[in-house]
Structure 1
């Protein structure tokens, strides 16, 4: 009977973790609960859906902006082709907010069709009030800009495709 009560407690504990994950808008939470010798509970709760939503979000603001309407077709096509699997995809090295220009109203660092050299700044990611320049890992032509200006990005999220 005591094992059943501890199992019910574990279920309540897991539910509380899931609630904590949701309330704090976290993507993943992992906890090890020790009960004694050779008795523990390893719990990993994650929200895979949030990653998909983050990747899908940039297409909507780009389509809403009149100036970005021609470029909006390229991110939508890239989303269908799974941009993360493209060999030229540049991914986010951190969690933060992506900015395509140095300041509001300024020209973007790169545009679709532009040729870039290795080391050129592609965009900026603001993380903890620090602006981090994201350099091009290789020379090539910008095929697609996946993120929208001012959109949140997760670690590993596709940002730009360079061919």
Structure 2
């Protein structure tokens, strides 16, 4: 399920230049993975499989700065951004593309959000159902008025391909 927070404290970390594209004069972008955190509410998002996105009360910390994501229920991954000019970018369309979901047939989901302001923003996805555990390349792309603000790739892999992350979030037994 897609999750978002609009106003957060800055969490810094290195951008993964080979998997994220953005204008470094306008944004700082960080990709990462974290174990699911509780949401604080939801808003309607008809362009998503669930029909809504979950909201975070505060920014979750990335536990791993990587674009490799094991397909494990309860695992979250996404992109944090900070607008370096402090500008509020409203009307941003966040589009998530992914391998085809078996039940719904979905290959893309989108919703409208905002980025920027005085703090950082996060757009993340949490694996909540078996259908969502689709391995392959996933991408987050944020556009505004036809302008790409950022694009970031993730590789979702079977849990055994990233056991240290999968087991940390309860996806694999620790031996």
TM-score by length of 1: 0.24
Higher strand share: 2
Rg larger for: 1
Higher helix share: 1
